[in-house]
Amino acid sequence: MKYYRVLSLGKFISGTELDIILLAFSELFSKLTSKHHKRIQLTIIEEQAYVSEVMTRIKELNIEGNVRMINFQDQSEVEKAYFESSVLMLPSLNRAKSIIPEAFSYQLPVVTLERDFVYEYIDQTCGMLVSADSKEDAVYEFFSIMEILYFDPEALKILQKGALRKFDGSFTWGDRKSVARAR
């Protein structure tokens, strides 16, 4: 089985939204055997100012061995994280709409909360939308999607191919101008 790497961008989401991803990943981690622990990783791209706060939360959840923190200013590490990741989990796209073409160019399906404007970017061919009325609902929904995509690599491959097709077919040059192709 291939490695399953979940990517999240702490720099572009609120602390509460990052906590949703941490709790969902922690839930997935707790449901897996030690054999599977070796095959999963959460990578968070974050501003240096917030790293110690996020690391404290990661230690509280007892997942520090499976979480990698990257400073968003280290472009070579950021690019490597995009290239190695399986899926991008962003509870909110309010500050991260410009990230979508970049994620798709790296064949990363995007999982986000359902919002009105999201439909122009994400559909069932290139990502998944989470419908949640509370933080607890969001944690459960993100966990469920992480679990589905971990245990169904074919579904993950379909979304990854769809993400690249969406990038190739839906984004104009203006959307693409800062995207470095990973293929």
Write out the H or E segment, with its range, that includes residue 161.
helix 153-170
The residue whose two tokens read 């990517």 is 7
In this model, does residue 79 exceed pLDDT 90?
yes
- How confident is residue 96, by pLDDT bands cut at 50, 70 and 90? low
Q: In order of start, what are the domains of the chain with their CATH numbers?
A: 4-176 (3.40.50.2000)
Q: Give the separation between CA 54 and CA 161, rounded to whole angstroms.
A: 32
Q: With b meaning 16 or more CB within 10 Å and e meaning fewer, what string describes 112-151?
A: bbeeeebeebbeeebbbbbebeeeeebbbbbbebbeebbe
- How confident is residue 94, by pLDDT bands cut at 50, 70 and 90? low
What is this structure's pTM?
0.89
Mean pLDDT of 168-183: 54
In this model, does residue 98 exceed pLDDT 50?
yes
Tokens for 114, please give them: 């359902």
Q: Give the separation between CA 20 and CA 14, rounded to whole angstroms.
A: 10
SS (H, E, C) 60-90: HCCCHHHEEEEECCCHHHHHHHHHHCCEEEE
Read off the pLDDT of residues 106-157 as tens digits, 9 standing for 90 and up: 999 999 988 756 777 888 999 999 899 999 999 999 999 999 999 999 999 9
- Cβ pair 11, 90 in contact under 8 A: no
